[in-house]
Amino acid sequence: MQPLAGQDLLHTQPRPMHWLATATAVSAVVAAASFVQPPDATATTSRDARAGQRSAAAPDPSKVRFPVECGPNRLDVVQKASGDLDGDGTTETVAAVRCHSETGTPPSGVYVLAQPSDPKAAPRIVATLLAPAQRLTVQELGVEGRAVSAGVLGYSTLDVPRCCPDVHKSVKWQWQGGKFIESELPVAASTQGV
């Protein structure tokens, strides 16, 4: 069998020293390349992205289409409050809405809004805390930490005129286990003729 051309030459036979020299040279080139970057190069870490989300404004309820039917009347956002309700570093908005009325106490809906992933899109409704079908009217609304609290007015019977709610209660919704848990707060008593 005839030897291959160059097989007997010393510099064509790899030795451990050759591999070490090659690895050192490649490492030096990679290290040097990491220091040389174009002037407009930027890097974003997940912490930087979360900080950007934190600085985003609270969702604007005036840009949301709520699932409330008002017929010929407009829908009013009567109260709103904002905070990081689920502890993810972003701000949510809680909005109390109801159909516009010059008299009486139309039922309210209370919704939690979050910013969409697309900055040009409207905020998303991520939870319904109080549906208008429950026939309660929100009197006050607040956010403290991860809890939403509301004072609501209602009616003890169907015989009570819709202008004059005779029941007042305080309700709290707390973010726990990936959802809002409702609890009724103690109040002195139902009030007559509120």
Q: Is residue 11 scored above 80 in pLDDT?
A: no
Mean pLDDT, the chain, whole residue set? 78
CA distance 1 to 34: 49
**Is there a domain that residue 14 lies in?**
no
Lowest mean pLDDT among 52-61, 81-90, 131-140, 176-185: 52-61
- Please give the C-alpha separations between residue 191 and each of 37, 155, 156, 165, in angstroms, as whole numbers: 70, 10, 10, 9
Q: Is residue 123 scored above 50 in pLDDT?
A: yes
**Is there a domain that residue 135 lies in?**
yes
**Is there a domain that residue 20 lies in?**
no
Higher pLDDT, 185 or 123: 123
Per residue in 84-96, pLDDT (tens digit) is 999 999 999 999 9
The sign one gets for the Cα dihedral 93, 99, 101, 106 is negative
Highest mean pLDDT among 20-24, 77-81, 115-119, 143-147: 77-81
**Is there a domain that residue 169 lies in?**
yes
Question: What is the extent of the structural domain holding 176?
Answer: 52-185
- Please give the C-alpha separations between residue 144 and each of 84, 106, 174, in angstroms, as whole numbers: 9, 26, 10
Q: Is residue 31 scored above 80 in pLDDT?
A: no
**Is there a domain that residue 83 lies in?**
yes
Number of independent structural domains in the chain: 1
Strand order in the sheet with 92-99: 75-83, 92-99, 108-114, 124-130
At 54, phi and psi to the nearest 5? Answer: -60, -35
**Is there a domain that residue 114 lies in?**
yes
pTM over 0.85? The answer is: no
pLDDT of res. 104: 75
